[in-house]
Structures are given as structure tokens and as C-alpha cells.
Amino acid sequence: MPPESTSRTGRTGIADSPEDPVRRLRAAGCVFAEDEVRLLAEAATSAAELEAMIERRIAGLPLEHILGWAEFCGLRIGVATGVFVPRRRTEFLVRQAELLLRASDGGPSDGGRRAAVDLCCGSGAVGAALAARLAGIELHASDLDPNAVRCAKRNLEPAGGRVHEGDLFDPLPPGLRGRIRVLVANAPYVPTAAIGTMPPEARTHEPRMSLDGGPDGLDIQRRVIAGATEWLAPGGHVLIETSRGQARQTIGLMRQAGLTARLASDPELDATVAIGTVAIGTVAMGTAATGAAAMGRRG
């Protein structure tokens, strides 16, 4: 969440924590009401605009959609209405991917550049954070949602990233096949039956496709893992954000695909990442069989 508020006044001339807006947001369930009012007051150009923003927040619209940005890995990531808002726990996925990319050298076929891909990229937050931390990577991202793709392009193209619209690997340039060093995926992993228990601002204002992972929450993870084996370079890694309850299943799927697999976690962030690696000098299951399996799951 935003840092602790300081005693400043926004462009509206309204103090950081005017009692009435804070009280109203707190009554609506906003835990960080003071900080939210401060950010809204700084963004508003008039008292009337601030009031409209507060009403939208009380109605349940995510703060990030109202502001037009989300704080992520020290960056302001542009987000648009109807686009998945990056969560703080996903910063752990970025850190794990960064460590692996730093340890990976681009091969001759890469021209010395390390290829990184962000699937189910949403706003492009993960890719933007990697681009800010690592110079000289070849960054690609893909998403099925046209709104997310437009948002990701605004966040990634200035950093040299390329964003593709389509289903997982389908829109990626064929030249990436077999040379991706790090593949990250914050794929939807909420079981369908659990969607109704999520906070209203998520289930009402974020796209269902960015949340719903199918009956057991692992449908998209299965497809990512199945496709990863033919797109990763030897020694390449696929990193998937998952939950503590699903982690062993995610690891099992990676091992079934012929990947070596391990878990990384950060209890403070409640973050869990499954990491699968293609052994150097081996092929993780036949690409034809993998592709057929992936196609079969789409049907």
C-alpha cells in the first residue's frame, strides 16, 4: 500500500486527511483510508473531481483504477479500468526472475541478449519491473485481453519490450522458440468456486479471465507448463506464481513435463513461486507431444 501519509495538501487545497472523506472511506471498508484520501487529493484537480473519485472508491472501484496507476516494485505502473491490478506479492516473482536472469548469459543465437517472456502479462507490471532492473534483455509479453494488451504496451514499449495479443504462446514470434531464458507467468489460479469469496473490488472490477483458474485453479498453469518445455532454452526457467495450497500440485505438473522443479516462498508477502528448469543437454518431453497436449486442453 502507499507509504505513510505526510502533512501535505493536494492540488485541490484539501488537506491529506480531511475528516469526512476519511470517515466515509473507512466506513466503506478501506483500511488505508488516510493514505487513499491523500493520493486522491493529489490526483484531483478540483474539489468536485475529488468528490467524484471518493464516490467511485466507496462504490468499490479499485483505488488503482481511479488513480490510473499502481505502485509495484518501486514503479508507477499504468493501469486502466477493467485491467488486473498487480499485487504486492507478485514482487517476489519479479525478484526470483531477476536472480535467474542475472545468472544467465545469452547464447550465440541470442546475440548475447537474454530473452525473457511474461505470459498473462495484464498491465505488464512484471515485465516493466524486470526491464527497470536489467539492461539488455529481450523482453516479450502476451495477454488474451485486448484492454490489458493496450495497457501493457504503454508500460513496456518505452522500455523496449514487445507486447503480443493472443492466447499464451500463440502470438509469440517463432524465433523465440527454444531460446527463452526466463518465462514468468502470473496466470489466474483462483478455483472457479472460490471467485465468489474474493473481495468485491476484485470480482466485480477485474476481468474474470485474470482470476479464474478453472475447477482446481490449475487449468492455465497446466497449459503454460506444457508449452514452456518447447519454448525454453537449455537451462531455461519457467516461474509461476501459485498459492501455498496449490504449490505441490504445480511442482508436480512441472516434474511430469520433465522439468526439475523447486519452490520459493516469502511468508511476509504470502508469496509462493514454483520454478521449473530445463536441464542443459536434454529435452523436456517431446515438443510434438507437448504441443498436442496443450492443444487438447484448449478444446
In tens, the pLDDT along 30-55 reads 989 999 999 999 999 999 999 999 99
3-24 pLDDT, tens digit per residue, is 333 334 445 444 444 468 999 9
CA distances from 120 to 108, 112, 210, 241, 279 (A): 28, 26, 8, 11, 25
Give me the DSSP letters along 44-61.
-SSHHHHHHHHHHHHTT-
pLDDT at 291: 39
The arithmetic mean of pLDDT across residues 154-182, rounded, is 97
The arithmetic mean of pLDDT across residues 214-233, rounded, is 96
pLDDT at 158: 96
pLDDT band at 207 (very low <50, low <70, confident <90, very high): confident
pLDDT band at 199 (very low <50, low <70, confident <90, very high): confident
Q: Which residue has the higher pLDDT, 95 or 206?
A: 95
pLDDT at 133: 96
Does residue 261 carry a pLDDT above 50? yes
266-283 pLDDT, tens digit per residue, is 999 999 999 999 988 655
pLDDT at 105: 66
Give the range among 69-78, 103-112, 168-177, 182-191 with minimum mean pLDDT.
Answer: 103-112
Which DSSP category does 172 fall into? S
pLDDT band at 104 (very low <50, low <70, confident <90, very high): confident
Does residue 118 carry a pLDDT above 90? yes
pLDDT at 19: 61
Does residue 263 carry a pLDDT above 90? yes
Q: Any idea what the Cα angle at residue 61 is, between residues 57 and 65, rounded to 5°?
A: 105
Helix (H) or strand (E) holding 133: helix 125-133
pLDDT at 3: 38
pLDDT at 113: 76
Q: Nearest Cα to 276, choosing from 290, 294, 258?
A: 258
Give the range among 59-63, 100-104, 148-152, 278-282 with minimum mean pLDDT.
Answer: 278-282
The pTM for the full model equals 0.84
* CATH number for the segment(s) 90-298: 3.40.50.150
Q: Are 130 and 137 in contact, with CB atoms under 8 Å apart?
A: yes
pLDDT band at 107 (very low <50, low <70, confident <90, very high): low
Does residue 296 carry a pLDDT above 60? no
The mean pLDDT of the chain is 87
Which DSSP category does 15 fall into? B
| Domain boundaries defined on the chain | 19-59, 90-298
- Please tell me the distance from the alpha carbon of residue 51 to that of residue 259, in angstroms, as a whole number: 53
The arithmetic mean of pLDDT across residues 245-261, rounded, is 97
Does residue 290 carry a pLDDT above 60? no
- Please tell me the distance from the alpha carbon of residue 274 to that of residue 261, in angstroms, as a whole number: 7
